[in-house]
Structure 1
Amino acid sequence: MKEIAETLAAWRRDGVRFALATVVATWKSAPRQPGAAMAVAETGEVVGSVSGGCVEGALYEVAIEVLTSGRPRLAHYGVSDDDAFGVGLTCGGMLDVLVVPVDDQAYPEFAEVVTAVLGGEPVAVATVTGGVPEIGGHLVVTGTGVTGTLGHERRDAAVAELARGMLASGRTGVVHTGLEGRRREDDLSVFVQSFTPPPRMLVFGAIDFAAAVTRIGKFLGYHVILCDARPVFATRKRFPEADDVVVDWPHRFLPKAEVDERTVICVLTHDPKFDVPLLKLAVRTPARYIGVMGSRRTHEDRTARLRAEGVTEAELARLSSPIGLDLCARTPEETAVAIAAEIIALTWGGTGVRLSTTTTAIHR
């Protein structure tokens, strides 16, 4: 929903009712993952996508029906359905889409949700998708409290606890509990969607490759920070797409930056006076990815210097160096694609090999 949040906020400010369709479950090669959203306003305007074009036409009709009736509906699309080919889901996947009406009466908590999303504040939305006749009830969990209800006090408490755990790890998916909140039962199905601030990408080295990396980092949804000690190079004019441009020595800036398990670090300076003191700190952070630019000779020299600084072999193993996947990249833009591909593969467990040579699931 993040991609369409600004439009949805504008609709609510203008008093426009709409139906919000969210993918809550997928199987096999579904084109979009849980959390993908599409909205249909009472004016007929549409924003977002749940399948990349496969089922949007059919889902539009469901959304109009939900707006008319005021009642949520869970729609299922898949190759086993008689109308699957008719709606265009020919990729072999299946998906469940929950469609709910959004207005002050049906979804009063929505204003709180969209405000948090646009403000970069963590928020989780738990929505009943099965187990009771009345699906669509909402529970909104933030760092300061819980609003809404799923219809039962103990149920609310149990789901709120589960949602807090999923929000802390940034996970989205379906959880199960008993109708009265008993953990060992699974009568109730609840879709929990976590909205967390964007992960950070720290790019060190104000070079032409860094300009391309900041652009692709923004495209992938990162909050991108460019850092270099040289003020003549680290300028907003040279890096207009970076969220922040910092003039500082990298090893002095890193301890002041927020680095967590979702952070990726790209060290592009390939200069030992910058790299060694920075990497000595970086390998001891919880960052998900630490990529370092340079030739194989540069890498060997750099690792020798780091060993001399007391960096262990286990810490050295955290470095992706030379940085990126083997795409035979030449230009800064091609190199940025190779770096982004490595980050994506590491994040989701991809192999980096051509899909045409594999038989595993595409989305796993």
Structure 2
Amino acid sequence: MLDLLPELEDWLADGRDLAVATVVSVGGSAPRGPGAALAVDRAGTVVGSVSGGCVEGAVYELCARALETGHSVLERFGYSDDDAFAVGLTCGGVLDVLVTPVLADAPVRALLNAALDAVQRGEPVALARVVAGPAAHPGAALLVYGDGATAGGLDLGQDFDGVAVAEARAALDAGRTGTVELCAAGERGADGPTLLVEAGTPPPRMIVFGAVDFAGALVRVGKFLGYHVTVCDARPVFTTRARFPEADEVVVEWPHRYLRGTRTDARTVLCVLTHDAKFDVPLLEVALRLPVAFVGAMGSRRTHAERNRRLREAGVSEAELGRLRSPIGLDLGGRTPEETALSIAAEVVAARGGGTGRPLTGLAAPIHRPGSAVLVPHG
């Protein structure tokens, strides 16, 4: 559900009845992971996707039925090759999808509105729902805020309620969406219900250093990928809102000073496009010592070698230098700012998802890598 919050804002404000289908788990090859969602209102309008088109028709029918009955349902697609082909899941995967009606008087509707308010304030929230197991209450939901406060409830009883809150908080801290099998406090083994916990976190940051033409193209691609994008450069004549209208922030500051003082985390992407030693070296000294997801720097191989020499002289270790992706980007053969931005973004995505960057043609590895949890950013 949290996957669709921005799209559902108007629907909720208009008071529309709707049903939301959410991917609970995937097996084998599947195009979208846990937390992917599709919503249908009474007029038949659809937003979102659970499978990239594979089973959308069947899920649409389930949503329409849930709007009529008012009951939640958990459905599996892809029991066998024949069943998978019948609904269009020809990739050979298995999808478990939870369909929940969100009617005017449904408790989950109030929680969705509360989650939307929190996301708009930039606060992380987690939504937990029971999908299977004993003591399941279809439609019951629990909202957990970043500060530990809760709203709603799962009505699981004293053996599980506290455990459910703890598991939801752990998923929120990790920024993960997926299923959790509960066991009673102090017990071992999965003897309780299974929860779907969706973590809604502020969008990850992409900080682009260097107010150059390539930066403008990278800002657009970064926004497309769901990042909160900042452009930073020390030169005020180039670092203007007029040149980077799509950036979330445009900062005039020496890059290394700005990076020292700004918020970063394990999802943050740092792209250094200045290729000027007086900016690059002090900036990369800071960047390569931060626990961020990606540090890349633009420049020719000659520039890269000279930059590494200066960084070593500045005391940067070989292990720290090993984190630097330079020259930044995958070898796509492009030359324009847009093509260069695409190559940089491709490397960021490959690094995040563990991809090889090689053509899928002839590649033996699975197209959709297995995983039980995904990050769900919201902006």
- Contact kept? 2:3, 2:35, Cα under 8 Å: no
Mapping for residues 40-55 of structure 1, pairs under 5 Å: 40-55=40-55
Match of 1:218 among 208, 215, 223: 223
2:370 corresponds to 1:357: no
2:127 corresponds to 1:122: no
Mapping for residues 160-309 of structure 1, pairs under 5 Å: 160-178=165-183, 182-309=187-314
Partner-residue secondary structure (3-state), 1:340: helix
Mapping for residues 144-155 of structure 1, pairs under 5 Å: 144=147, 145-151=149-155, 152-155=157-160
- Contact kept? 2:2, 2:35, Cα under 8 Å: no
In the TM superposition, what is the alpha-carbon distance from 1:78 to its structure 2 partner? 1.2
Encode CA deviations 1:124-160: one digit per residue, 9 max, x unaligned. Answer: 1111111035334211111231122221233121011
Moved more, 96-105 or 84-93: 84-93
Moved more, 197-206 or 336-345: 336-345
- Give the unaligned 5+ runs of structure 1: none
Distance 1:35 1:7 in 2: 15
Root mean square deviation of aligned Cα: 1.8
Q: Give the equivalent residue in structure 1 for 2:344.
A: 339
Distance 1:99 1:187 in 2: 21
Q: Which amino acid aligns with 1:105?
A: A
Distance verdict in 2 for CA 1:252–1:245, change over 3 Å: same
Q: Give the equivalent residue in structure 2 for 1:22.
A: 22
Distance 1:186 1:333 in 2: 53
Distance 2:240 2:80 in 1: 55
Distance verdict in 2 for CA 1:245–1:18, change over 3 Å: same
Distance 1:241 1:232 in 2: 18
Distance 2:198 2:335 in 1: 40
In the TM superposition, what is the alpha-carbon distance from 1:360 to its structure 2 partner? 1.5
Distance 2:81 2:276 in 1: 59
Encode CA deviations 1:271-291: one digit per residue, 9 max, x unaligned. Answer: 001111111111111111100
Distance 2:189 2:133 in 1: 15
In the TM superposition, what is the alpha-carbon distance from 1:6 to its structure 2 partner? 3.3
- Contact kept? 1:228, 1:234, Cα under 8 Å: yes
Distance 1:269 1:223 in 2: 20
Distance verdict in 2 for CA 1:319–1:180, change over 3 Å: closer
- Give the unaligned 5+ runs of structure 2: 370-379
2:85 corresponds to 1:85: yes
In the TM superposition, what is the alpha-carbon distance from 1:314 to its structure 2 partner? 1.1
Q: Which amino acid aligns with 1:101?
A: P
Q: Which amino acid aligns with 2:294?
A: Y
Distance 1:248 1:27 in 2: 47
Moved more, 68-77 or 139-148: 139-148
Distance 1:305 1:327 in 2: 29
Distance 2:87 2:184 in 1: 35
- Contact kept? 2:269, 2:294, Cα under 8 Å: yes
Encode CA deviations 1:81-130: one digit per residue, 9 max, x unaligned. Answer: 75433322222221011001113334232211222233332011111111
Percent identity of paired positions between Structure 1 and Structure 2: 56
In the TM superposition, what is the alpha-carbon distance from 1:11 to its structure 2 partner? 2.0
- Contact kept? 2:2, 2:198, Cα under 8 Å: no
Distance verdict in 2 for CA 1:186–1:81, change over 3 Å: farther
2:146 corresponds to 1:143: yes
Q: Give the equivalent residue in structure 1 for 2:106.
A: 105
Aligned length: 364
Partner-residue secondary structure (3-state), 1:96: strand
Q: Which amino acid aligns with 2:167?
A: L
Distance 1:81 1:14 in 2: 42
Distance 1:313 1:257 in 2: 25
In the TM superposition, what is the alpha-carbon distance from 1:43 to its structure 2 partner? 2.5
Q: Which amino acid aligns with 1:116?
A: A
In the TM superposition, what is the alpha-carbon distance from 1:79 to its structure 2 partner? 6.0
Partner-residue secondary structure (3-state), 2:305: helix
Encode CA deviations 1:190-227: one digit per residue, 9 max, x unaligned. Answer: 11111100000010001111111111111111000000
- Contact kept? 1:128, 1:137, Cα under 8 Å: yes
Encode CA deviations 1:18-41: one digit per residue, 9 max, x unaligned. Answer: 111101111111121111111111
Partner-residue secondary structure (3-state), 1:154: coil
Distance 2:187 2:140 in 1: 18
Q: Give the equivalent residue in structure 2 for 1:316.
A: 321
Moved more, 294-303 or 134-143: 134-143
Moved more, 260-269 or 83-92: 83-92
Q: Which amino acid aligns with 2:63?
A: A
Distance verdict in 2 for CA 1:242–1:32, change over 3 Å: same
- Contact kept? 2:3, 2:36, Cα under 8 Å: no
Partner-residue secondary structure (3-state), 2:159: helix
TM-score (norm 2): 0.91
